[in-house]
Amino acid sequence: QLRLVESGGGSVQPGGSLRLSCVASGVTLDDYDIGWFRQAPGKDREGVSCAFSHTTSTVTAGSVKGRFTISRDNAKNTVYLRMDNLEPEDTARYYCAASFRGDFCRTYEYDVWGQGTQVTVSP
């Protein structure tokens, strides 16, 4: 069965960088749309960036466009989220998720979720 495990979160200062990893087991990752989502306390879970199966197509939220980059390493069954120039507003728990039918990088489209990894950006 598909299982996703995130790692790479931590605490950084504004302007810093992190690379989040999402390792899939049980299936071929490239058969699924994979998205990164985040949720801050008191806020809805929101799409950050999604990569669609069997294509090079991606979507990225306007708030992080130009700073965050999603990528795949299919040989390692891993999806990454490179996060550069982090801002305090990026503080949230970040989740990766897999979809069988994703089109819009929205939470409701995604079926299997990891446990998340915390990202905290503060002085």
Q: Which of 70, 59, 42, 57 is nearest to 106 (CA)?
A: 59
- CA distances (Å), origin 22, targets 17, 41, 54, 55: 17, 22, 18, 18
Is residue 84 scored above 90 in pLDDT? yes
Average pLDDT, rounded, for the chain: 95
pLDDT at 29: 85
Report the relative pairing of strands 10-12 and 117-121 from DSSP bridges. parallel
pLDDT at 27: 85
pLDDT at 55: 86
pLDDT at 54: 87
Query: Could you give the CA distance from residue 68 to residue 31 in angstroms, rounded to a whole number?
Result: 23
3-state secondary structure of 106: coil
pLDDT at 102: 78
Q: What is the pLDDT of residues 27-72, one digit of tens each?
A: 888 889 999 999 999 999 999 999 999 888 999 999 999 999 999 8
Q: What is the pLDDT of residues 97-118, one digit of tens each?
A: 999 887 899 999 999 999 999 9
Outline where 1-123 has alpha helix (H): none
pLDDT confidence band for 21 (50 / 70 / 90): very high
